[in-house]
Amino acid sequence: MKILGYCCILILFLCSFTQSEKRLPYKDPTLPVEERVKDLLNRMTVEEKFWQIYMMPGDLDLGKEKFSHGIFGFQVSTVGADNPELKQLLQYNPTLTARETVKKINEIQRFFVEKTRLGIPIIAFDEALHGLVRGGATAFPQAIALAASFDTTLMKKVSHAIAMETKTRGIRQILSPVVNLATDVRWGRVEETYGEDPYLSACMGVNFVKSFEELGVITTPKHFVANSGDGGRDSNPIHFTERYLEETHFVPFKACFMEGGSQSVMTAYNMLDGTPCTANPWLLIDKLRGEWGFDGFVVTDWGGCNSQTAGIKAGSNLEMPGTIGDSDRELMASLKAGKITEGEIDLRVDQLLDVILATHEATAGGKRNFDQEAHHAVARQAAAQTAVLLKNEGDLLPLAPNARVAVIGDMALEPRYQGAGSSLVNPTKLDKPLDCLKESGLDVVGHAQGYLRNGKEDAGLQQAAVQLAGQAD
């Protein structure tokens, strides 16, 4: 079925200005972006500059009065978990359709463009690791599975599909991909990566980000850098030499920027040689911008900003999530105390405004439709090509046609094909293994649950599974 009526609801007002507004250089799309940014920056108050260095989950439902100075970006219809210890695991609204999402983003944009003093549009952002984390999206195989295909052409097909589903909803930035190296299988985020090989991770990462950047959607490779330490400990302090980083962990990031065109990067929680990555001038200024020529923007991981003052001085642009006032007060105090200059703040805001103005114009037109069934077919193709057979004892596979098969396991009905948090996709369509086996020509003699997902043993379930297995070949 073609999805298209709603996709033509464009954010046209971003390029629609009154005659009086056209006289303002920063609102004139015919002028070079650099000239427009300089004009806009000169018109901004300190408070308005502060608010451009925050992005957060939520939207205007939090209260329009809180955002009179503007904000860089929203992850719309998203809230943190009720449990403060799990606040990083965001709750996305799975019931919001694509039509409703783009309508809501349009309304938010209209407020910022028409009702705030300077009319600076926002960047709507989201997660899209192996599919957009929104209702009605397509779930593709996880990153580690896509890497197992060793097929960059397949990756390009998958990423293009995700990019189309992202752009049609008015979303302008994704906090993906994860190009960290999975150097220890005990690390809990291995499935989000492209594996342990720097070259393979670079190839997959580049082909992922290109699809988005070609459509004007900003990509954010993460987590910069090396956020898995000894023993697979997440965000453990890292002590690596520069040569080792250049030969391993830097490789996929550098490729995403230089070959894929990624306009953003997310810093890691961990320290690198005693300095937090979020406020590491060697990493963010000397290496990223100086040696590699990166001209995009840097965003912290969720709650990863220890000090906005230190981050800005060290090359970071955006704090996530915004604190709705707390960081403003910290920056104002630092400004008054001489710990930071307005020129340093201007530099970080300038780098953001460059992207804001260019991104909204790049995404104002173009194809606005996609075929859900076609994307589901790509997902099935990817699932088939990414399957890895570890062993085949007794040449059990392939099964003979019409073989009698007993299906045992809870996941035959409710498959686990993804993780949680930023990799949780709510798919439009989900193929269940049991249904697929029945359609394959095999003689399915029945299904038994066999076990409990919580790991507890159940003698009754086990006995039923054994009895069913006795009916199979």
Q: Give the residue numbers annotated as catalytic, written as ranges.
A: 301
Please report which residue ranges of 365-451 form alpha helices under DSSP H: 372-386, 433-439
Strands annotated E in 22-139? 55-57, 73-75, 78-79, 91-92, 123-126
Strands annotated E in 348-442? 370-371, 404-408
Task: Read off the DSSP letter of residue 410.
Answer: G
Alpha-carbon separation of residue 464 from 325, 412, 438, 468 (angstroms) = 59, 16, 20, 6
For 232-270, letters b (16+ CB in 10 Å) and e give beebbebeeeeeebeebbbbbbbbbbeebbbbbbbbbbb
> Residue 377, Cβ neighbours under 10 Å: how many?
13
| Measured distance CA(50)–CA(47) in Å, rounded | 5
The tokens for 442 are 């095999």
With beta carbons less than 8 A apart as the criterion, state whether 250 and 225 touch. yes
Indicate if the alpha-carbon torsion angle 214, 220, 226, 230 is positive or negative. Answer: negative
